[in-house]
Structure 1
Amino acid sequence: MRISKIEIENFRLLKNFSMDLENELSLVIGKNNMGKTSILLVLEKFLNPSDGNRFSFDDFNTEYKKMIKVLIEDPILMTEEDYKPLGIKMRLFIEYNQQDNLSNISRLMMDLNPLNNVIVLGFEYSLEYRKYHKMKDDFKKFQTSEEQKVKKDNKYKPKSAFDFLKHRQEDFFSLIRKSLEYNIETKTVNESVFLNLGKEQISIKDVINFKYISARRDVTNKDVDKTLSTQTSRIYEKTESPDEQNKAVEDFKDKLSETDDHLSGIYKTLFNGIVEKVRNFGGVKINESDIEIISTLQHRELLKGNTTVVYKHDEDSRLPEHYNGLGYMNLISMIFEIEILVHEFKRETEKIPADINLLFIEEPEAHTHPQMQYVFIKNIKALLSEGIKRNDGIKRKLQYIISTHSAHIVADSDFDDIKYLTREASGVIAKNLKDLSERYSKNPKYYHFLTQYLTISRAEIFFAEKAILIEGDTERILIPTLMRKIDIEEREKFSGEGESDRYLPLLSQNISIVEVGAYSHVFEVFIDFLGMKTLIITDLDAVCEDGNSCEVSKGKGYSNASIRHFYDSPSLEDLTNRSFDRKCLRKESDKWVIDRKGNLCIVYQVEEDGYNARSFEDAYIHINKGFIKDNKQNFAGLKLKEHFDNGKSAYFLAENCIKKKTHFAMDIIYQSDSNLSNWKIPAYIKEGLLWLKED
């Protein structure tokens, strides 16, 4: 039995959200502010409701707040027939099979069709019609009160409907739990047919048990911190139970009993003076109130206050826990906490564990270095694979969700486990990375290459707002510098007019630079899947009739597979005459179409100062020949430097006078002045980066 899908409505960023869950690990990733923590919170608020864990007005989605404002301010009262309950909703889709014990879910089943193996549990924090009626009445009284305050003090600003709801929303909204009808053939939920679990007094605590480890952990490395030591006593509390009286626990108790006898003899001498004073004051009566102070060491309490985790460096050196780095402490603390929660899932003091045990681990990478993050994700499956195993033979699987911002964790994860959160026009959505294999069904080699490439390097693209795909080392070295130069130029351009920069500086944006060689076309489906604004910087690669490289002016075609793929095999003439707007694309069905506001742009060398270059080096040398000539003796990446003085073309110089491209790129940076103002950016790169800079 497992949760196969979570649906969430109107909770913070999650307006209309759906996410599939895997049998074991579901790794939730995405850039900041995508709702990863919101998933954890809504699960906790619905599955473990408490006075300290209530919904607040700020938990409502922004658009829903506007809806409720219109509803409350509308002078017309809706009829009960027209009214539909509104609020925060969560649905859990539970799948079961013939091997599962169905005793706990039998009362939740809404369909006895043997082919239907899905139960849908609905959780709502909603405004029922009766409370909707009361809310409008109370708001009218509130408005009257605010009007009176304004009359008394003209400076008083009347409070709005939002102010009213922030303080009163709990009076009108209430929690409801349901089992909803599910049509297995159409795979749809019928909201109108349900079982109210509250009214029927049906508990789900034996169906789902949810626990989590928050990113806001208590670990610090202050000398007063005893997080790990405290956790050891909690582990003992969970382990030591009537059903698990192992030999170590019994030996521990026997030794405490012996110690009690020994300490009681010492206490008799130690406290003799105070006992005598009590006796002198008449507080002791023989055989009635004669007092003794004895040792009663309790094994649980003893561990709570007196167990210390230390780090052993050698036989003579043991350092307290706070002496180690936060990374190690965080990792050890997580393992300890997982051990504690697994014991809690076992529910030794209750009849049996729940059918579904769901654990959420939030951002395990906190304070840890990359190597430690690799180790964590490699071992977490093995650690949790045993699930919930009790000594009485009862077993349960453990489903767990891990949210992360770590590219290192993603890089060492199974593609099939990953859930990618991104924002579209409709709001935040979750995508299964395993669905990419279907999209690449026509080119399975491309998919294999992509998964290998992204798991080895460049997984940081999943956490970026925008991406730049480049060909090689030259661009990788230079692009950050080119971005900085554009930021400087744009700031200077608008500061003279008294205006602020129109767009956020490139270096202040979350942009991932990914080196893809000549394979940017392989990333086409992946780019569309991520849905992020992407700039591809490539070379025109003009060729002669014989297929060999040549100057663009002499070219009859080109050899760039990516340009051919994205632009549907245009001619070289078309490419050299193509305006920038025609280089911007958006995906429509299975085809890329021209759109200046699209999220993909491919740039390559264009005519500049009467010349169209073939490569980056060709373009750079053409517009910066003076800069290179003035500094050529200091350019370690050049050879045959005398050719820069005898009028050779930029194409010739790029082909024959560059010793090593990476050295040439480093030379450009090294010979730049402080404001990068002594050379120019090739036009094709500049227009591409300015496009990317836009919102």
Structure 2
Amino acid sequence: MKISRIKIKSYKTIKEIELSINDITTLIVGKNNIGKSNVLKSLELFFNNLSSKSKEAIIDKEDYRFNTERVEVRVTFDDINGQLNKLRERITQERSKRVNKENLYRFELLYLQFEALKSQRNKLEVVLEIKRRNNSKNFSINYNPTEPKLKKYRSLILKRDLLESIFPSEFVKLLNDKNIGWDFYKNVIVDETEEEFKITYRELTGEILKSDYKPQKTDVESLKTNVVQYLSETQRFLYVPAYRGEKEERNLILDRLFDIIIDDLITTRGVTKDYDTITDAIWGTGKYSNKQNIDSVISKRTESLIEKITKDSISSITGFEFDKPNKKEIRRGILKLMIGKPSLFLNDGVKTTFASKGTGIQSSFMITLMKALSEFEFINSTDILLVIEEPEAFTHPQLTREIMDLMLDVKESNTQFIIASHSPVVVNYVKARNVIRLAEICPKDKIKHTINAVNYDTNYTKEDWNLIDRIADVNLSEIVFADYVIFVEGEGDKAILELLFKELLPKTFHKLSIVSISGNYQIFKLLKLLQYFTIPWILVTDKDSFVEKTFEDEIKITLRNLDDFFTKYQISETFKESYTNVLNNHLVDKIISKNSIATGVKMGQLIKRINDIKDGVNEDLKSEIFKIISEKINDSFITDEDSVKIINSFNQKMLSNKIPLYSLESDLEGFIVNKETYKYTYSVYRKYYPEKADNFDAETNHFTEQEKIRYIRECIGSKTSMLKRIPNKAKTVKKPHIPIEIISDYLHSKDRNSNLLDVFPNLKILVSFLKEKI
């Protein structure tokens, strides 16, 4: 069984939190000190206490949340049907050889108990409660069998026990009969009187006085206790902490790793085929008492282990070996001989001890060693939960990628990973649905607490997740770590806003993540991702995304009307041959052309689809928003002051209605070129286009300052310059490096305006808004 859900209450910074866990890999992300380690530590608390036989809880005083009386950790195990299948296999294995009645009965009992506890959800929730008053612990299962299930369970146990008690020798024969099912006793017929039980099975009939029969405990609590005990034996929890650099921490991890080998070789009686050999050699009795037998087992196991670990480890490790102590008397020294505190020798071209390797190699090798050992010849029913803090610690990005490849190369494995990380490299290895984003709430006059920011109520389809996984890509690593995300159209917008916000929000800029989405309408593809992680965001774009120009009707050009088209629009005859060649292509039916002169305006897609972004926006509000943004749009000239006034009015309306869309008064070039930045713009333009700059000087000799500003905006690559095909301007539509260089030169100049909001006034509302949010 694997974990599918964790619920934690009153543990350190966690007041109450619930997390869904993927069956292979779950990644937990969030800011420093947000509580990622506390989630992992709560699991360690659960499993350490599960495996401990002490009645007193293993817990530190600091683990209790302030002013609370108890810690509670609920772990939901998934796929009870799968566990029933494993138990059936174990029962079959036990019956395939000479039957060990004790082992067989235990697995049969467990099968019947799991079947009784199985809910319709096919899950099992186990609850650990630790009380502060006396550090007492209690494990329970948060499900009571229904009366029909409990009745069936008790009936089967009674039938089995009665058949064995009344007919012991016949019962053993039935156990060893491979031709009948293991649950053959379900066909026993029981008749009960006040004084005795009478049974009938096939040709067998018999009775037993109730006073001579000792019934098994079949109460609900005994049933639950037995299942919890089984989980403690079959659930392995392995923890790799974030700090792995000091000798003490390394030794603790290595000691834990080698405990696994002891468990595998020594404590799994009746499971591992080498158990008898090892046991006889240790005690010097039995047919395997010859110490050469134990040497053979140890050598075989060690070679197998080395082969497994070398294969699964990072590529720079080509081999390793154990430095065993000298062999002494076999009876007293065998455990130390097999396990002890072996020294590791790594071979990455130079064979040296583990401790002498670089910190990054040590860190990464311990992770892959943990994985390899956790999968080393465990019994089929054992499940391993491998929890790793910061796999990127002490490693460079390429080594981190190699570690992630090794960890995630899991097919039909019992190993499950939960990883906590700050690394974008790690985030990009995991699908969005497998990422848990933690945040924090800090109510006034109250202690802050960790929350799960994931919205599990989204009910996304497989197609939704496929879309999210396709578009998230690198953006995901930026998005999940940020306090607030600003989406922009392109990399140029991103670079410029980063430069400006570093100065406008010096104390909180690091909490922002500015992400380019390569086109404003990509925001609609990102919405599901943002909703799932409940990420606060805003899209900053230019006015064109909210207002679309309309043009005359489409012109459908065919060979029949080609001459009329050229005459009507006075197009040079030199182009006719090209048009004719295209139309003569058998794959082309017609050419559709649109007039380049706008005849009006209409709502842009960001307004039309505003309900996808914010629920409850009615048509009246849409119309009001459009009316504001389209004011004076048909005027031949709008002053910069009027443009800023319109845009600010629009943005105020959007934000007051909690619509996360923000408009700049122009595209990138128009936004950064103004009275304050004009001379820096001209300097950069002349630097890259000296001849064009000479033409610009000649053309603008009698222009006003405002006219020069507008004209140079076109020259550095606005859409207008391509439309008008003006000879002295940039040949391509966009040259993002030019606006970036302009704004950088301006910000580093000595005579710049100290108040950037006076230079870029339509950022005032946005800056004020972000200050409130972060």
Please report the TM-score for the alignment, with normalisation by the length of structure 2: 0.57
Residue 330 of structure 1, aligned match among 363, 369, 373: 363
Asked if 1:413 is matched to 2:430, the reply is yes
Partner of 1:60: 64
Which residue identity lines up with residue 125 of structure 1 in the other structure? I
1:464-503 map, 5 Å: 464-487=482-505
Which residue identity lines up with residue 661 of structure 1 in the other structure? P
Asked if 1:573 is matched to 2:627, the reply is yes
Partner of 2:513: 511
Partner of 2:563: none
Partner of 1:685: 763
Structure 1 residues 675 and 199: alpha-carbon distance in aligned structure 2, compared to 1, 3 A threshold:
farther
1:347-496 map, 5 Å: 356-382=383-409, 384-385=410-411, 387=413, 397-423=414-440, 428-430=450-452, 438-439=459-460, 448-487=466-505
Which residue identity lines up with residue 741 of structure 2 in the other structure? M
Partner of 1:498: none
Shift of 1:121: 2.0
1:575-654 map, 5 Å: 575=629, 576=646, 578-584=649-655, 594-595=657-658, 601-605=660-664, 613-628=665-680, 631-632=683-684, 635-636=687-688, 640=693, 641-642=696-697, 646-647=703-704, 648=707, 650-654=709-713
Shift of 1:212: 2.5
Which residue identity lines up with residue 411 of structure 1 in the other structure? N
Asked if 1:119 is matched to 2:115, the reply is no
Partner of 2:305: none
Residue 557 of structure 1, aligned match among 576, 590, 601: 601
d(CA) in 2 for partners of 1:534 and 1:631? 36
Which residue identity lines up with residue 309 of structure 1 in the other structure? F
d(CA) in 2 for partners of 1:195 and 1:674? 82
d(CA) in 2 for partners of 1:555 and 1:485? 42
Which residue identity lines up with residue 174 of structure 1 in the other structure? S
d(CA) in 1 for partners of 2:471 and 2:236? 36
Which residue identity lines up with residue 71 of structure 2 in the other structure? I
Asked if 1:207 is matched to 2:231, the reply is yes
d(CA) in 2 for partners of 1:676 and 1:324? 54
Q: Secondary structure at the match of 1:7?
A: strand
d(CA) in 2 for partners of 1:248 and 1:472? 70
| Unmatched tracts of structure 2, length 5 or more | 88-106, 147-217, 267-271, 279-291, 301-325, 444-448, 553-593, 612-616, 630-645, 718-729
Instruction: Answer whether contact 2:140 2:224 (CA < 8 A) is retained.
Output: no
Shift of 1:538: 0.4
Partner of 1:145: none
d(CA) in 1 for partners of 2:224 and 2:258? 40
d(CA) in 2 for partners of 1:18 and 1:27? 15
Shift of 1:109: 6.1
1:163-242 map, 5 Å: 169-171=132-134, 174-181=136-143, 202=226, 204-208=228-232, 209-219=235-245
Instruction: Answer whether contact 1:540 1:615 (CA < 8 A) is retained.
Output: yes
Structure 1 residues 508 and 217: alpha-carbon distance in aligned structure 2, compared to 1, 3 A threshold:
closer
d(CA) in 1 for partners of 2:338 and 2:383? 34
d(CA) in 2 for partners of 1:113 and 1:235? 30
Partner of 1:162: none
Which residue identity lines up with residue 771 of structure 2 in the other structure? K
Please report the TM-score for the alignment, with normalisation by the length of structure 1: 0.63
Structure with greater proportional helix content:
2
Q: Secondary structure at the match of 2:752?
A: coil
Which residue identity lines up with residue 573 of structure 1 in the other structure? K
Q: Secondary structure at the match of 2:673?
A: helix
d(CA) in 1 for partners of 2:355 and 2:406? 25
d(CA) in 2 for partners of 1:375 and 1:12? 33
Root-mean-square deviation (CA, aligned residues, Å) is: 4.7
> Residue deviations 1:620-678, cap 9 Å, x none?
21343544367356654895453676333644432333342223312321353267935
Shift of 1:361: 2.4
Which residue identity lines up with residue 409 of structure 1 in the other structure? V
Instruction: Answer whether contact 2:388 2:418 (CA < 8 A) is retained.
Output: yes
Shift of 1:474: 1.4
> Residue deviations 1:262-287, cap 9 Å, x none?
xxxxxxxxxxxxxxxxxxxxxxxxxx
d(CA) in 2 for partners of 1:376 and 1:294? 36
d(CA) in 2 for partners of 1:235 and 1:106? 26
Partner of 1:525: 528
Which residue identity lines up with residue 669 of structure 1 in the other structure? S
Partner of 2:551: 546
d(CA) in 2 for partners of 1:465 and 1:320? 44
Instruction: Answer whether contact 1:557 1:572 (CA < 8 A) is retained.
Output: no
> Residue deviations 1:559-601, cap 9 Å, x none?
753354337654643223635432227xxxxxxxx14xxxx63
Q: Percent identity?
A: 15
1:667-678 map, 5 Å: 667-673=742-748, 677-678=752-753
d(CA) in 2 for partners of 1:202 and 1:457? 48
d(CA) in 1 for partners of 2:739 and 2:367? 48
Shift of 1:615: 1.4
Q: Secondary structure at the match of 1:538?
A: strand
Which residue identity lines up with residue 605 of structure 2 in the other structure? A
Instruction: Answer whether contact 2:30 2:480 (CA < 8 A) is retained.
Output: yes
Q: Secondary structure at the match of 1:206?
A: helix
d(CA) in 2 for partners of 1:669 and 1:466? 24
Structure 1 residues 236 and 325: alpha-carbon distance in aligned structure 2, compared to 1, 3 A threshold:
same
Partner of 1:349: none
Shift of 1:251: 5.7
Moved more, 332-341 or 106-115: 106-115
Instruction: Answer whether contact 2:3 2:21 (CA < 8 A) is retained.
Output: yes
Shift of 1:539: 0.7
Which residue identity lines up with residue 310 of structure 1 in the other structure? L
Instruction: Answer whether contact 1:486 1:686 (CA < 8 A) is retained.
Output: no
d(CA) in 1 for partners of 2:429 and 2:478? 12
Q: Secondary structure at the match of 1:531?
A: coil
> Residue deviations 1:471-506, cap 9 Å, x none?
112112222210122146xxxxxxxxxxxxxxxx13
Which residue identity lines up with residue 584 of structure 1 in the other structure? L
1:14-163 map, 5 Å: 14-49=14-49, 54-62=58-66, 65=67, 87-95=70-78, 96-97=80-81, 98-101=84-87, 103=108, 115=120, 117-126=122-131
d(CA) in 2 for partners of 1:380 and 1:106? 32
Higher relative contact order (CA 8 A, sep 6+): 1
Shift of 1:372: 2.5
Instruction: Answer whether contact 2:125 2:142 (CA < 8 A) is retained.
Output: yes
Partner of 1:190: none
Instruction: Answer whether contact 2:57 2:130 (CA < 8 A) is retained.
Output: no
Which residue identity lines up with residue 91 of structure 1 in the other structure? R
> Residue deviations 1:280-334, cap 9 Å, x none?
xxxxxxxxxxxxx997696854985774423343xxx545545543222211111
Structure 1 residues 364 and 406: alpha-carbon distance in aligned structure 2, compared to 1, 3 A threshold:
same
